[in-house]
Structure 1
Amino acid sequence: MKMQVCLVLVLVVTLAVVNAQVPHWGSCPEPSTQPNFNFKQFMGRWFEITKLPAQFEKGRCIETNFTLKFDGTARVVGSEILNGKVKRIEGTAVVEDQKNPAKLGISFSYVLPYTPYWILSTDYVNSAVVYSCTDILRIFHVDFAWILGRSRSLPAATVDRAKEIFIKNNIDVSWMITSKQEGCEKHLENLDAGAYL
């Protein structure tokens, strides 16, 4: 009976995840992260250029702003335009592994644990390659990957180099899609920016 209950639970979780993301068999990969990562230099505004599809990101003009706090953590504000409105969500980023400061954790809730947010590569001033992964009972995993820019677009060569970093770390980028960042500033000027997710 216990085995049947476990199988049903696995099936329910699997269906929920499959509906939201692209699952992969096996546990999460362990990619190399940015050496000598500087948390303070990473602060500021980042625009989403390319990503693996994510159920929690349905809008356009997606960006994330990191602000360093006195306690050494960072305030994280993510925003997107969805159905003609600006939606925002606020959370906290922390360095989870002091020996590897590029392994950040982000949480948007006081009751939820920190989600991995690993900086695989960044030059701090132009682009960043970010990865996150969640194991489901070590049977399969769901991953997220983003190529971020300090501006709303990046040269194709920069995007290609970022994808190569994922590929070298055994991260499948074949499902990556380009984020919509056109006409954002003009649209944002005409919207009520007070709505929060």
Structure 2
Amino acid sequence: MKLFLALVAFFVSLVRGQVPHWGPCPEPDVQPAFNLKQFMGRWFEIARLPTQFERGHCIETNFTFRTDKSIRVVSSEILKGEVRKIEGTGVIEDMKHPAKLGISYSYVLPFAPYWILSTDYVNTALVYSCTDILRLFHLDFAWILSRTRTLPQSTIDSAMQTFANNNIDVIRMINSNQQGCDKEAPWSDDQLL
């Protein structure tokens, strides 16, 4: 029992800001007939479940194809007046389910789930990620993304309902700050973390 509690404490300390939920990850429906080519490009974060690794504002992610058919994933935020960027790699882990991507921001870490639950490709995308811890509890992440820095509240409300319909608890979802981004700190690809 002490080992179990030590493991739980260890994993929780790694993901401060996340709230663990009992049981395994839910299995939400993903975007049918997902078209990765149409999904590529720049997405702005409109809302998210709280995370330890996103603390700034003006959060966005740009997806582009690499020559080896993997995906270049560049995420950025402005934190304390400085642009922080990180580059990762994305892959389709199972061609039968192309909306279930895997993304890793480190060569030593495995690919984490990055599932596209819903997208119209030109306005919004709903993304979900979940990690089981010993199949006893799970930690999840959820994002509402947009091609623009704002969305109507009715669109956000509809997105929240989509998460809820898939047994994803988004009661703690917070809005992202996309104010003053273009004039505060424009960034380029040479500013990676």
Normalising by the smaller structure, the TM-score range is over 0.9
**Matching residue of 1:113:** 110
Query: Displacement, 1:70?
Result: 2.2
**Matching residue of 1:92:** 89
Hey, what's the Cα distance between the residues in 2 that align with 1:144 and 1:15?
Answer: 14
Query: Displacement, 1:17?
Result: 5.0
Hey, what's the Cα distance between the residues in 1 that align with 2:149 and 2:109?
Answer: 30
Hey, what's the Cα distance between the residues in 2 that align with 1:173 and 1:110?
Answer: 30
Query: Displacement, 1:114?
Result: 0.3
> Is contact 1:37-1:102 (8 Å) kept?
yes
Hey, what's the Cα distance between the residues in 1 that align with 2:15 and 2:86?
Answer: 24
Alignment of 1:52-131 (within 5 A): 52-131=49-128
Which has the larger displacement, 16-25 or 56-65? Answer: 16-25
SS in 2 for 1:36: coil
Which has the larger displacement, 65-74 or 88-97? Answer: 65-74
SS in 2 for 1:20: coil
- Count of aligned residue pairs for this structure pair: 193
Amino acid at match of 1:174: I
Query: Displacement, 1:129?
Result: 0.3
**Matching residue of 1:51:** 48
Query: Displacement, 1:16?
Result: 1.1
Amino acid at match of 1:59: G
TM-superposition CA deviations, 1:108-143 (whole Å, max 9, x none):
111110000000000000000000001111111100
TM-score, with length taken from structure 1: 0.92
Hey, what's the Cα distance between the residues in 1 that align with 2:14 and 2:27?
Answer: 21
TM-superposition CA deviations, 1:155-184 (whole Å, max 9, x none):
111111111110010000100000000010
Alignment of 1:167-178 (within 5 A): 167-178=164-175
Hey, what's the Cα distance between the residues in 2 that align with 1:98 and 1:64?
Answer: 23
> Is contact 1:86-1:193 (8 Å) kept?
no
Query: Displacement, 1:192?
Result: 8.8
Query: Displacement, 1:14?
Result: 4.6
Query: Displacement, 1:195?
Result: 3.8
TM-superposition CA deviations, 1:47-96 (whole Å, max 9, x none):
00000001100100000000012222110000000111000000111001
- Aligned CA RMSD, in angstroms, stands at 1.7
TM-score, with length taken from structure 2: 0.94
Hey, what's the Cα distance between the residues in 2 that align with 1:11 and 1:52?
Answer: 20
TM-superposition CA deviations, 1:26-45 (whole Å, max 9, x none):
11000000000001110000
**Matching residue of 1:196:** 192
Rate the CA distance shift 1:76–1:19 in 2: closer, same or farther, 3 A.
closer
